[in-house]
Amino acid sequence: MRNPGINELYSFGLHQGVSGIEEGDINLNTEKAIKNTLEYKWYPNTNFTLNALVYFQHFNDYIFLNPQEEIRLTIRGAFPVFRYEQTNANIYGLDISTQFTISNYLHGLLKYSYLKGDDIENNLPLVFMPPNSFFGSLTYQAKKGLKLGQKVRMNESEIEINNRLVFEQNNILDNQDFIQPPPKYNLLGIKASTNFIFPNYKIRCFVKADNLFNIAYRDYLNRQRYFADDIGLSITTGINFKF
């Protein structure tokens, strides 16, 4: 059970962070749900694991933000209008993941997620449901450290290449949103990290690059997609100092 949030009850105006007008409803009821899951785990040996999870969740008075057929003109410009509403709904899906070891240095990970939501009261798909996605990564781990001097050594070095494929959200009708769901997209990333060990402290350094090929894409769950593409090539570095 979940009580309506403050924003779901009392919103009435422009949400500048997402460039949309949101309207709450003070008459929203408590959201009630029951969830059923079935999980299978297979660990035949230390080099391979497989997890599969199937779930089904039924909602009474499911609270969701519903796009309205209105673009409202304000002194700040014209913005799409969204209203918090309730319905009875079913959400079901499947998550599959596997981890495997190719060698002492090379490890892999694969994940697939499928999700579908239906408004059973109005016989419509639910809006803003995550589209199906696939994620894979390959990680090289150096087992041996490297001595950089009398008092400094480097260990636990890793290089990871990952790929995320997000499919188009097809479970939605043309008139349920302001624009069509964006097409599928594929993002490649890379990450490198290592430890520098000193006598009295340790420094963990990393650098990662997301959307390595600077793909122009729009994420269905990002409400800024109505106006602009998502983030392009992004490079992040970090240092973690432990003493």
Q: Residue 88: which of 66, 120, 56, 65 has the closest Cα?
A: 120
34 with 240: CB under 8 angstroms?
A: no
Q: Is residue 136 part of a domain?
A: yes
Q: Is residue 161 part of a domain?
A: yes
Q: Is residue 217 part of a domain?
A: yes
Q: Is residue 6 part of a domain?
A: no
Residue 116 has a pLDDT of 97
Q: State residue 31 phi and psi, 5-degree precision.
A: -80, 130
188 with 134: CB under 8 angstroms?
A: no
CA distance linking residue 217 with residue 211, whole number of Å = 10
Q: State both tokens at 108.
A: 């892999």
Q: Is residue 64 part of a domain?
A: no
Q: Is residue 232 part of a domain?
A: yes
What is the extent of the structural domain holding 207? 130-243
Q: State residue 3 phi and psi, 5-degree precision.
A: -75, 150
Backbone CA torsion sign across 66, 69, 73, 79: positive
Residue 182 has a pLDDT of 97
Q: Residue 50: which of 40, 58, 59, 60 has the closest Cα?
A: 40
Q: Residue 85: which of 103, 68, 107, 69 has the closest Cα?
A: 68
Q: Is residue 205 part of a domain?
A: yes
CA distance linking residue 93 with residue 112, whole number of Å = 11
Q: Is residue 59 part of a domain?
A: no
| Number of domain units in the chain | 1
* In the chain, alpha helices (H): 6-10
- pLDDT means per 10 residues, the chain with 243 residues, are 96 91 97 98 95 98 96 92 97 97 94 97 96 97 80 89 98 94 97 90 94 97 95 96 80
Q: Which residues contact 5 (CB under 8 A, 6 or more apart)?
A: none
Strands 202-210 and 185-197, bridge-based pairing: antiparallel
Q: Residue 39: which of 117, 91, 95 has the closest Cα?
A: 95
